[in-house]
């Protein structure tokens, strides 16, 4: 081999070796780069995994916080929506079951040792439904110390075996005092791996809300009681004002009536006396005229004819009859005026007369006897005194006048064949005399005017319109009260309440 050939071969070998060395160095650098890339990728993947896990945990915590907030917000909103403590407790149970993810829940309310709510076999499910589950309902009922009368400070946990699946579970429960001798329990049945300290802490807010609701309901009830009391006081005040105004009007009317009675009494006496005398004189003239006629009949002839001519020309007989009727009507009218004057005087001076002890039964029976001719063939009148007789002090004549007036009005308003009942009832300090009829009754307008002087529903000439006003004045003078209840078509009930002898 020539030197040039050998040299060329050596150069090729050296070039090949340099190439191999270069390739080895490239391969080494690529291995290092690959290893670095794999290490970076591993680190990146690990960071991505950790970031993903952190994100998942953050999302889970966020959802849990959202669920906590929804539970707290919902429970708080129930304070204004619920009208009663019982309603709020049932709403709180619904929220607690849904929030905790419990298998079911149940509420119990015990008052004075008696189970008001929770005796049934229904339990609340997370989907807000009540389902029948006698075994679970009985389990929750047995796990709670329903006889306890002292509130828990926190939720309690009992380990139990579910009767339906024979698996271990937990019963969460607490008791809250709603009111005196009234207690409420909430019970939740959960899986043993679902209890978290934070969940229990959030559930504890239910107890605070219940306490707030109880205080709220208590204040609300007290406020309602005060409002009712104020309304009652206002009503009593209005009634008193009406009675004072009515009493003032009655006093003024009494003074007016006294003056009218005094002014009318004297002249009507003259008119009555003169009318009676005039009637007697007219009767004498009538007798004299009859005797003159008899003499003319005896004389006969022209005297008789002349007499008959005068009698026919002046219509003496017809005129005499008309004048006689006029005297009768005038005297009736005068007697009517005298009765009104007497009523006015009774209205003006009701307090005169001595007060004596009066028997309620005797007073009622006397009124029945005095009106016997009015109801004997028209109505059945019966007296009922289940508690026996009662005694009170009063003016016997005035009390008789009041009872007769009420009974007469009842007879007047009651159709034939209907009943009228008289009742005597007594309490510790008063006696009630009641006249109740099955009559036509009164409209509200008539009832409102019933004690107004000169107001009457009777036809003209049948009543003075003073009977009820005089009766009210008399009863008030006796420290009594008159109450009237009436409905058109159903009758009227008049109650006179007077103090018993013992309470005077």
CA distance 273 to 329: 15
Among residues of the chain, what percentage have pLDDT more than 90? Answer: 7
At residue 435, the pLDDT reads 93
Q: Is the pLDDT of residue 405 over 80?
A: yes
| 136 and 159 both lie in a single domain | yes
Residue 184: its H or E element = strand 182-191
Bigger pLDDT: 250 vs 431: 431
The reply to whether 3 falls in a domain is no
pLDDT in tens, 41-99: 777 677 666 766 766 666 665 555 555 555 555 555 555 554 566 777 777 777 777 77
Residue 367 domain-assigned (yes or no): yes
Domain ranges, residue 65 = 25-80
Q: What is the pLDDT of residues 219-230, one digit of tens each?
A: 666 777 777 777
The two three-digit tokens of residue 147, written as one number = 């006889």
Q: Which residues touch 419 (CB under 8 Å, ≥6 apart)?
A: 379, 380, 381, 382, 437, 438
Q: Residue 219: inside a domain, yes or no?
A: no
* Nearest to 251, CA basis, from 434, 453, 54, 106: 453
Measure the CA–CA gap between 467 and 492, rounded to whole angstroms.
16
499 band by pLDDT with thresholds 50, 70 and 90: very high
As a residue count, the chain comes to: 504
**Contact 353/399 with Cβ under 8 angstroms?**
no
pLDDT at 216: 59
Instruction: Name the residue with higher pLDDT: 438 or 265.
Output: 438
> Given CA atoms 261, 265, 271, 276 in this order, what sign does their dihedral have?
positive
> In whole angstroms, what separates CA 211 from the centre of its chain?
29
278 has a pLDDT exceeding 90: no
Q: Check residues 169 and 316 and name the one with the higher pLDDT.
A: 169
Check residue 70 and give its pLDDT. 52
* Spacing of C-alpha 97 from chain mean position: 38
Cα separation, 351 vs 436, whole angstroms? 27
Name the residue with tokens 């005169």.
352
User: Nearest CA to 477 among 341, 356, 349, 358?
Assistant: 349
Q: Please state, in angstroms and rounded to a whole number, the distance separating the CA atoms of residues 118 and 138.
A: 10
* DSSP assignment string, 23-72: HHHHHHHHHHHHHHHHHHHHHHHHHHHHHHHHHHHHHHHHHHHHHHHHHH
Is residue 464 over pLDDT 90? no
Separation of alpha carbons 171 and 193, rounded Å:
12
Cβ distance 144 to 187 under 8 Å? yes
Q: Is the pLDDT of residue 318 over 70?
A: yes
Section 468-476 average pLDDT: 83
pLDDT > 90? residue 236:
no
Domain boundary among 80, 105, 127: 80
Q: d(Cα 299, Cα 293) in Å, to the nearest integer?
A: 10
64 and 143 together in one domain:
no
Q: Give me the pLDDT at residue 423, please.
A: 93
Angle, helix 316-348 to helix 197-299, in steps of 10 degrees: 150
By mean pLDDT, which of 263-277, 356-370, 422-436 is the weakest? 263-277
Residue with more model confidence, 502 or 394: 394
How far apart are the C-alpha atoms of 391 and 63, rounded to whole Å?
82
What gap in Å lies between CA 495 and CA 485, rounded to an integer?
Answer: 8
State which of 80, 96, 124 marks the end of a domain. Answer: 80
CB 156 within 8 A of CB 172: yes
pLDDT value at position 240?
A: 61
How remote is the C-alpha of 378 from its chain's centroid? 41
Q: Which of 5-19, 96-110, 231-245 has the highest mean pLDDT?
A: 96-110
Would you say residue 284 has pLDDT above 80? yes
- Looking at the structure, tell me whether residues 124 and 145 fall in a common domain: yes
Selected residue with higher pLDDT from 110 and 232: 110
Residue 446 in domain: yes
The better pLDDT of the pair 458, 132 is held by: 132
Does 340 share its domain with 364?
no
Taking only the tens place, the pLDDT of each residue in 438-447 is 888 888 888 8
The domain boundary residue, chosen from 287, 322, 348? 348
pLDDT of 241 over the 80 cut: no
Q: Is pLDDT of 503 > 50?
A: no
**For the domain that residue 396 is a member of, what is the CATH number?**
3.30.565.10
Q: How many domains does the chain have?
A: 4
Q: Are residues 124 and 47 in the same domain?
A: no
Are 343 and 442 contained in the same domain?
A: no
Instruction: With beta carbons less than 8 A apart as the criterion, state whether 183 and 110 touch.
Output: yes
220 or 450: whose pLDDT is higher?
A: 450
Confidence of residue 504 (pLDDT cuts 50, 70, 90): very low
Give the closest residue to 362 by CA, choosing from 389, 395, 402, 398: 389
- The per-residue pLDDT of the chain, averaged, comes to 77
Does residue 441 sit in helix, strand or coil? coil
* Cα–Cα separations (whole angstroms), residue 467 to 88, 102, 342, 404, 476: 60, 78, 12, 10, 14
Comparing 149 with 240, which gets the higher pLDDT?
Answer: 149
Highest-scoring range by mean pLDDT, 34-43, 216-225, 410-419: 410-419
State which H helix or E strand residue 301 sits in. helix 301-314
Say if residue 62 is in the same domain as residue 160. no
> Cβ(293)–Cβ(314) under 8 Å?
no
DSSP assignment string, 79-132 = HHH--SHHHHHHHHHHHHHHHHT-SEEEEEEEETTEEEE--SSEEE-TTS-EEE
* Pair 361, 335 in one domain: no
Does residue 248 or residue 265 have the better pLDDT? Answer: 265
pLDDT band at residue 211, thresholds of 50, 70 and 90?
A: low
Q: Is residue 283 part of a domain?
A: yes
Considering the domain architecture, whether residues 394 and 493 belong to the same structural domain is answered as yes
The reported pLDDT for the residue numbered 447 is 82
Q: Per-residue pLDDT averaged across 108-130, rounded?
A: 86
Q: What's the token pair of residue 38?
A: 């794999």
Cβ-proximal residues to 414 (8 Å cutoff; 6+ apart), any chain:
378, 379, 420, 437, 438, 439, 440, 491
- Residue pair 43/176 in contact by the 8 Å Cβ criterion: no
């Amino acid at each position: 081999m020539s030197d040039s050939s050998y040299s060329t071969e050596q150069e090729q070998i050296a070039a090949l070796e340099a190439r191999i060395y270069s390739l080895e160095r490239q391969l080494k650098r690529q291995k290092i780069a690959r290893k670095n890339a794999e290490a970076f990728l591993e680190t990146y993947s690990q960071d991505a995994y950790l970031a993903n896990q952190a994100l998942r945990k953050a999302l889970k915590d966020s959802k849990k916080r959202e669920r906590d907030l929804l539970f707290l917000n919902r429970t708080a909103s129930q304070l204004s929506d619920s009208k009663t403590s019982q309603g709020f407790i049932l709403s709180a149970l619904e929220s607690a079951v849904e929030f905790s993810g419990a298998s079911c829940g149940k509420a119990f309310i015990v008052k004075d040792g008696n189970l008001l709510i929770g005796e049934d076999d229904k339990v609340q499910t997370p989907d807000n439904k009540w389902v029948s589950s006698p075994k679970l309902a009985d389990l929750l009922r047995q796990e709670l110390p329903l006889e306890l009368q002292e509130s828990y400070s926190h939720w309690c946990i009992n380990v139990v075996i579910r009767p339906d699946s024979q698996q271990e579970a937990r019963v969460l429960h607490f008791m809250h005092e709603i009111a005196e001798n009234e207690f409420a329990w909430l019970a939740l049945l959960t899986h043993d791996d679902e209890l978290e300290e934070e969940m229990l802490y959030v559930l504890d807010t239910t107890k605070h809300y219940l306490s707030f609701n109880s205080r709220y309901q208590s204040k609300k009830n007290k406020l309602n009681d005060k409002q009712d009391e104020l309304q009652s006081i206002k009503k009593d005040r209005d009634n008193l004002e009406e009675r004072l105004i009515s009493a003032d009007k009655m006093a003024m009317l009494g003074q007016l009536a006294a003056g009218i009675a005094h002014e009318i009494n004297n002249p009507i006496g003259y008119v009555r006396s003169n009318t009676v005398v005039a009637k007697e004189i007219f009767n004498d003239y009538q007798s004299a005229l009859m005797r003159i006629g008899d003499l003319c009949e005896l004389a006969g002839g022209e005297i008789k004819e002349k007499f008959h001519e005068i009698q026919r020309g002046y219509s003496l007989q017809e005129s005499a009859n008309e004048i006689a009727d006029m005297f009768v009507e005038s005297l009736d009218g005068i007697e009517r005026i005298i009765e009104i004057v007497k009523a006015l005087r009774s209205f003006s001076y009701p307090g005169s007369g001595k007060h004596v002890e009066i028997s309620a039964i005797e007073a009622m029976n006397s009124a029945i006897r005095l009106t016997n001719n009015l109801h004997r063939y028209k109505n059945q009148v019966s007296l009922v005194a289940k508690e026996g007789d009662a005694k009170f002090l009063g003016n016997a004549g005035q009390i008789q006048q009041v009872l007769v007036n009420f009974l007469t009005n009842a007879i007047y308003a009651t159709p034939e064949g209907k009943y009228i009942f008289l009742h005597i009832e007594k309490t510790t300090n008063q006696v009630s005399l009641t006249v109740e009829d099955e009559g036509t009754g009164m409209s509200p307008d008539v009832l409102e005017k019933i004690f107004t002087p000169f107001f009457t529903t009777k036809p003209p000439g049948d009543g003075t319109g003073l009977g009820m006003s005089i009766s009210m004045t008399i009863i008030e003078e006796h420290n009594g009260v008159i109450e009237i209840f009436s409905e058109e078509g159903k009758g009227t009930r008049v109650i006179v309440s007077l103090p018993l002898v013992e309470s005077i």
